[in-house]
Structure 1
Amino acid sequence: MVLDRVLVLPLLLSLLFLSSADGLVQDFCVADLSSQDTPAGYPCKPVSDVGYCDFVFSGLASPGNTSNLIKAAVTPAFVSQFPGVNGLGISAVRLDIAVGGVVPLHTHPGGSELVIVMQGTITAGTISSSNDVYVTQLKAGDTMVFPQGLLHFQINSGNSPVVAFVSFSSPSPGLQITAFALFGNDLPSEIVEGVTFLDDAEVKRLKKVLGGSG
């Protein structure tokens, strides 16, 4: 029995040391953007090639261009722009919405979203999988969370431009805008009509507006 303890104790200490050493080696995994992204993230860039610039992103300082159909702009700091967030389960964007602008109904299949309003007024809402609707008005300093995968939207409901910063629980949360999924591609009009209960003229009008065909 004493011999077993003598043998087991060094083994446990060795395993603890190896586990700690591995943890130190894996302090971070800066994305090697020359490789392909995978469901597990990008491969790690060699530590010898990592610099402070991999952990800094300045792109959120400037407003995005809101001269578009939805009068809104999203400036991302996802892993493809900010390789230091690879593997950390975080990322961010800057959201600019001009007066009358909207971020249409959409989902992020890869992560939850937390929006912090810095300027302006937003009407924001989310819809649960049981179709319960949660809508409110957000002003500067307000924060709202949108759980992963749920439909949600933001509308500039004030008289001045909106600036907000958004964080995600993923380095690459993904995005699917419902309107573009239905009307911005070549899904045949008769199928869209069947699944949306819209008539042919309205479906074709929306396809024309959103760049779809068929």
Structure 2
Amino acid sequence: MKLVDILFLLTLAMVLSTAISSDLDPLQDLCVADLASGVKVNGFTCKEASKVNASDFFSSILSQPGSTNNTLGSLVTGANVEKVPGLNTLGVSLSRIDYAPDGLNPPHTHPRATEVVFVLEGQLDVGFITTSNVLISKTINKGDIFVFPKGLVHFQKNNGNVHASVISAFNSQLPGTQSIAATLFAATPPVPDHVLTKAFQVGTKEVDKIKSRLAPKK
């Protein structure tokens, strides 16, 4: 193989790796999401430029703690393109996560983004699992950051006796979240019991018990 061919392949590999590392780069100054249009083409269509204003780029949604009075003792408040239309095509978003004492943000993944958390208050035990089933975990405190690689299962747990909170940053306007337990045991239509019993090596009663606890409240 000629040197020029090798250089071409290396350049192509670098370009492709950059292109798929996060959301696509915008091709215009801005493209405020027209959430009412109902049209999605790997993102949202653009609002008419004459209708764009500062409120499209502003939100105070993360300024106040979320209510953690729920089964898990945690609440994620997202500031993504669905809440801040000006984020459309910009490839970034934020979330705030609040944790009651003993609160858990359960094992989940973000299929479209890497996440980095910055601790506002409290202490958390955090970790992610590699595809080799290796747990990488650490206790983080106020002012610390921790990174969760794109697509890997991860969690945060408040083992303290006071409230904790973090700000999460993502390299996607809409990173998506798949909670492992809810994905498997509360899907619609449901994942067949025989799949779950074999995968988790448990009986049907155990599967039904988990499903009943994760079923959406009516």
TM-score class, shorter: 0.7 to 0.9
Give the SS at the match of 2:62.
helix
Matched, 1:113 2:115: yes
Residue 196 of structure 2 corresponds to 192
Q: Paired residue for 2:51, among 42, 49, 52?
A: 49
TM-score by length of 2: 0.83
Aligned partners of 2:39, 2:196: CA distance in 1, in Å? 32
Q: How does 1:39-188 map to 2 (within 5 A)?
A: 40-185=42-187, 186-188=190-192
1: CA distance between counterparts of 2:196 and 2:56? 44
User: Scaled by the length of structure 1, what TM-score is found?
Assistant: 0.84
| Deviation, structure 1 residue 196 | 1.4
Q: 1:150 to 1:95 in 2, by over 3 A?
A: same
CA distance in 1, matches of 2:39, 2:122: 36
The CA deviation at 1:101 is 0.9
Distance 2:111 2:92 in 1: 14
In structure 2, the partner of 1:31 is 33
The gaps in structure 1 that reach 5 residues or longer are: 1-24
Change (3 A) 1:96 1:34: same
Equivalent-residue separation in structure 1 for 2:59 and 2:50 (angstroms): 20
- Residue in structure 1 matched with residue 205 of structure 2 by the alignment: 201
Instruction: Provide the C-alpha distance between the structure 2 equivalents of 1:71 and 1:37, rounded to a whole number of angstroms.
Output: 36
Summarize the Cα distance change of 1:179–1:102 in structure 2 as closer, same or farther, 3 Å threshold.
same
Distance 1:121 1:188 in 2: 39
CA distance in 2, matches of 1:146, 1:131: 15
Alpha-carbon distance between aligned partners in 2 of 1:106 and 1:128, rounded to the nearest angstrom:
13
SS in 1 for 2:207: helix
RMSD: 1.8
Bigger Cα Rg: 1
5+ residue gaps, structure 2, are 1-26
Tell me which amino acid in the other structure corresponds to 1:201. Answer: K
- CA-to-aligned-CA distance 1:142-199 (integer Å, 9 cap, x gap): 1011111100000011111111101111010001001111222322222210111122
Q: Which residue of structure 1 lines up, in the alignment, with residue 20 of structure 2?
A: none
Map of 1:6 onto structure 2: none
Runs of 4+ residues deviating >3 angstroms: none
Identity %: 39
Residue 36 (structure 1) shift: 2.7
* Residue identity in the other structure for 1:93: S
Deviations 1:3-59 (A, max 9, x none): xxxxxxxxxxxxxxxxxxxxxx81111111112353521111111111011111111
2:18 corresponding residue in structure 1: none
